[in-house]
Amino acid sequence: MEISGLISALVIGIVIGALGRLVLPGKQKIGILWTIVVGIVAALLGTAVASGLGVEDTDGVDWGEWLIQIGLAALGVAAISRVKLRR
């Protein structure tokens, strides 16, 4: 992977992670680094799921892929937040 791919994965991870946090109600007890990690993982998994469903490449904005990625990020943020609350 080239440096431009890493930078774009980081930026997409930040955006997806932030949107995943915004979807959840209340305050989440995780930091920005965990948000970025969850966002990157959700973006990668969301792309794979969208590819499996056949909605990864459409004309214009790929809304289906974005919704899947944001949903996965929200699940990841909620899971990490619950784990951190138990400690």
pLDDT digits (tens, 9 = 90+) for 24-34: 888 888 888 88
- Quote the mean pLDDT of the chain: 84
In a domain, 77, yes or no: yes
In a domain, 13, yes or no: no
In a domain, 22, yes or no: no
In a domain, 59, yes or no: yes
In a domain, 78, yes or no: yes
Lookup: tokens for 44: 């990668």
Q: At CA 20, angle to CA 19 and CA 21, rounded to 5? A: 90
Q: Which domain holds residue 47?
A: 31-87
Q: CA 35 to CA 1: how far, in whole Å?
A: 22
Average pLDDT score over residue span 57-73: 83
When divided into structural domains, the chain yields a total of: 1
pLDDT confidence tier of residue 1, bands split at 50, 70 and 90: low
pTM summary value: 0.82
In a domain, 57, yes or no: yes
